[in-house]
Amino acid sequence: MDRRALCAQGMSVAYDGVEALRDVHLDLSPGSFLAVRGPSGSGKSTLLWALAGLVPLRSGSVSLGDVAVTGPDQASRPRIALMPQGNGLVGTLTARENVYVAAVASGLAPKEADHRSGEALHRLGLEDVGEHLIEELSGGQQQRAALARALATNPAVLLADEPTSELDSANRERVIAALRDESDRGAVVVMTTNDPVAAEQADVVLHIHEGELTGTLP
Ligand SMILES: Nc1ncnc2c1ncn2[C@@H]1O[C@H](COP(=O)(O)OP(=O)(O)OP(=O)(O)O)[C@@H](O)[C@H]1O
């Protein structure tokens, strides 16, 4: 397992000059499971996109181990999986195809990617709908397929944006268990959520308000 710490130092993001993230410092060791709570518009998604190197920083830096996370280039973004809000799945592909494509793109050989795709779908209770088009799935099934896609890449860092927002309690438990398993195998897991029940399953809960992260990491 790739075990590296995720570190953000003085990270700020601005959209059209308006700061959405202000001077965020985080040092997350392998195996961390962090929840970030905050109201709508507080900067939760921006935080995850910044940690993934997917938005330009106004200032500060992000690193995974000794590798700088500087942009969307896969080579400079080693094994960071983002499950975005809205899921980002291809509606005209099946759930399994969506997962498989991500697994291959992460560098897995086709046979291994196929195996991991089936396993990830199974972990999220989607084995019976794996061959269904995404656009034929419910919102909650799509949300779980998006997490399956992230899991199949065996990420060193898993960033999940409100991963339980569309789920009933049984599936929320399933998703939280999958996130916990990832942290137990040594991944850094960061989940944003407005769901207090989901948040309390994490090891630490931080709060974000107007782009400022508050609370203390152990
Ligand atoms: N692409 C963008 N261009 C301009 N402003 C943006 C952009 N994306 C986000 N913002 C602004 O940045 C701030 C933080 O947005 P962000 O999406 O990170 O919040 P959030 O906490 O994830 O919200 P929600 O819970 O509603 O998804 C908001 O004021 C939002 O309007």
pLDDT for 70:
82
Task: Please give the ipTM for the structure prediction.
Answer: 0.97
Substitution candidate for ligand 1 out of 12, 37, 44 with most atoms within 8 A of CB: 44
| Beta carbon of 193 within 6 Å of any ligand 1 atom | no
Domain locations in the chain as residue ranges: 6-214
> Which atom in ligand 1 lies closest to the alpha carbon of residue 21?
14
Q: How many angstroms separate the alpha carbon of residue 192 from the centre of ligand 1? A: 13
Residue nearest to atom 11 of ligand 1 (CA): 20
Whole-angstrom Cα distance, residue 38 to residue 109? 39
Instruction: Give the least confident one: 41-50, 59-68, 89-98.
Output: 59-68
Q: CB 142: neighbour CB atoms within 10 A?
A: 20
Cβ 181 vs Cβ 160: under 8 Å: no
| Beta carbon of 116 within 6 Å of any ligand 1 atom | no
pLDDT for 75:
47
pLDDT band at 217 (very low <50, low <70, confident <90, very high): confident
pLDDT band at 73 (very low <50, low <70, confident <90, very high): low
* Helix%, strand%, coil% for the chain, nearest 5: 35, 30, 40
Q: pTM score > 0.90 for this model?
A: yes
> Which atom in ligand 1 lies closest to the alpha carbon of residue 161?
22
pLDDT for 76:
44
- Per CATH, the number for 6-214 is 3.40.50.300
Q: Residue 134: what residue type?
A: I
